[in-house]
Structure 1
């Protein structure tokens, strides 16, 4: 299991930081995992699943 930092998540999804946090607030995006006092990340598997769901919705 790999943990992605924000820049990697933005690159994978094509979404800006503000949209990622907005979607999380709306419970429409995977939640972050706390890594330390001031650092967070996202599980790569959850981000990949989220992307796949978007791909399936378009079909």
Structure 2
């Protein structure tokens, strides 16, 4: 059994951008796990409708 693993998970989220407004996009989280429990989010990014990969810092989470 590995002690530290890195896992990637994708889910749909509603995001808000000033240029595009509200959009629903796939957001991928890369997390570090210790004994199967999530410890830290290393990186999160989203894929645009055109296939580009962008960082999630430029879009706010829509609530």
Which band: TM-score by shorter chain?
A: under 0.3
| Higher relative contact order (Cα pairs below 8 Å, separated by 6+ residues) | 1
TM-score by length of 1: 0.27
TM-score by length of 2: 0.26
Which has a greater percent of helix? 1
